Structure 1
């Protein structure tokens, strides 16, 4: 047998062995994600929340045994793939259609919300990392932003626990917002477009923004969705800032190397957003990639739930809950103030 044949045979064996190693953990994460999707479609609660809870119920699988490696892979690599694919949700045309005011509003609310969250977190005794996670999740796109920032931020013993709590918190608050915020818009007698801007700028998760917006009117739903996608577009610069913080603190990845200034999933996010902006992507392809992104994130959040024990989240206490509620209230007041100034 030639050297090249031996090399190819060895690589084939390595890949086969790697797939067999990862398959059990990935499969159980996929099953949990499918169950979470079924429950979400039938009971109306956020799929991310169901995925987390189901994953936590299977947390014993990540402690040891055949599923551990696959769960680790799914919680890390599959999550990054899902984050990169989020870029297919946005186009430059969508962002420019509403004019400069919504762009200014979105940029301001993200900078102010994250900055205030980091400062307040430090003042009340939390790590700045927790303030960055919760502030980013509140200001940008809920659970997806929390997962993306968690990957980019420096390693910390409490990072996974903080990430899980943030995902649970924003999912619950987003569901409440989907019901309450349209009532606020009606009470304030906002026009359909202004109501869409308000909903798109304040509700955490994309699905809840769409649900709240179209529950009021088609115009409100369209506007809310575009404004929300502007917030999703801000995920990239925030991830870059988080990666720069990681590098400046001298943090390393699991292989001992310093993380790249621009993570590959952030590059993928940008490339897909640019491609989507050309208008050349067929609707069926765009829809397929968006659905794949959703599945990657749901599967990875199931795996992330499996990596955490119930008793760890039970030790969180009321203080961080009040902190996240306060962030959401602050965001509503900030957006209403900015809307008064800009429109």
Structure 2
């Protein structure tokens, strides 16, 4: 490395370090609170980040916060590929795969339609529907990274993450009781929990609270929903390209780099060559990258802006959640 390039790299690191460090500190505090109080870590990261939103204004932290909210987010999404293997999907058979594809597709399409009927942009419907149908806050962040830029994008993303985290926690508590009420078998309960609860952590918590068999089935079904992230991101990228690039900018790629990374890592992980220790490290790095990124996103918004969204977006996401659970329950007996 030449002296000039080293100097440029050093200057870049110095420029980004303050914002990244403060985002990482917020993420660490959020993880501590989540472990001790049981609430979603993404929710704590958002709230703590919003309390420090003054740091994203003009000052030393601004460049690093912008970088963290954009690039570190993409890294975290790409590393989600290490959670998935093709053998996990094959183990349940073809019917649960069809169920997941139908559930995710129908939920997003209905969300887009209802969002338009309520007067929202169809991209907001895709964002909230994707978060509900795929994997909660992680899907919201991934879709936001792939969707075209607009002035309300960050506000919509933060609202979606807050709402889907709260709904996922509620579902983790309520859905096992629903499964017990309907006397579902362990496999059926696993398919229901894995197909209807938003975030991976809440699916694991709800599934293993019932039984090991239920937890195993719920986790695999949930990972199948995570796999749907790639085709949905591809659709979002196609929409972005169809709308055209902004003046003076390059045309957006057909598939974002982080989505390619997600696919490649999932394929490599499916070979069985990746040691368990590497998988665990990759999963932890992904989790931390997403929490750090959402902390930075929190710093870029103000709570009063989110408080002004009104009741209609909340009703949209609650409706999406209820629709998803009802759809999974209706298809579940066929799939099992």
Q: In 2, are the aligned partners of 1:174 and 1:205 still within 8 Å (CA)?
A: yes
What is the SS of the residue equivalent to 2:58? coil
Q: Which residues of 2 match residues 181-196 of structure 1 at below 5 A?
A: 181-196=175-190
How many Å separate the matches in 2 of 1:224 and 1:64?
46
* Alignment coverage as a number of residue pairs: 336
Q: In 1, are the aligned partners of 2:132 and 2:320 still within 8 Å (CA)?
A: yes
TM-score (norm 2): 0.99
Q: In 2, are the aligned partners of 1:170 and 1:204 still within 8 Å (CA)?
A: yes
- Could you say which residue in structure 1 is the equivalent of 2:254? 261
Q: Which residues of 2 match residues 42-191 of structure 1 at below 5 A?
A: 42-191=36-185
How many Å separate the matches in 2 of 1:310 and 1:235?
29
Q: In 1, are the aligned partners of 2:118 and 2:312 still within 8 Å (CA)?
A: no
Moved runs in structure 1, 4+ residues, more than 2 A? Answer: 340-343
Unaligned ranges ≥5, structure 2: none
Indicate whether 1:209 and 2:197 are aligned: no
Unaligned ranges ≥5, structure 1: 1-6
Deviation of the 1:257 alpha carbon:
1.3
Deviation of the 1:342 alpha carbon:
3.4
How many Å separate the matches in 1 of 2:308 and 2:163?
15
Q: In 2, are the aligned partners of 1:83 and 1:269 still within 8 Å (CA)?
A: yes
Q: Which residues of 2 match residues 194-233 of structure 1 at below 5 A?
A: 194-233=188-227
- Could you say which residue in structure 1 is the equivalent of 2:317? 324
What is the SS of the residue equivalent to 2:252? coil
Q: In 1, are the aligned partners of 2:146 and 2:236 still within 8 Å (CA)?
A: yes
Deviation of the 1:252 alpha carbon:
4.0
What is the SS of the residue equivalent to 2:297? helix
More deviation, 332-341/268-277: 332-341
Q: CA RMSD in A?
A: 1.1
Q: Deviations over 1:27-79 (max 9, x none)?
A: 00000000000000000000000000000000000011000000000000000
Deviation of the 1:340 alpha carbon:
3.3
Deviation of the 1:311 alpha carbon:
1.6
Q: Deviations over 1:168-191 (max 9, x none)?
A: 001000000000000000001000
Q: In 2, are the aligned partners of 1:40 and 1:47 still within 8 Å (CA)?
A: yes
Deviation of the 1:256 alpha carbon:
1.5
Q: Which residues of 2 match residues 26-41 of structure 1 at below 5 A?
A: 26-41=20-35
Q: In 2, are the aligned partners of 1:137 and 1:143 still within 8 Å (CA)?
A: yes
More deviation, 310-319/232-241: 310-319
Deviation of the 1:310 alpha carbon:
1.5
- Could you say which residue in structure 1 is the equivalent of 2:295? 302
Indicate whether 1:246 and 2:218 are aligned: no
Q: In 1, are the aligned partners of 2:48 and 2:295 still within 8 Å (CA)?
A: yes
TM-score (norm 1): 0.97
What is the SS of the residue equivalent to 1:190? coil
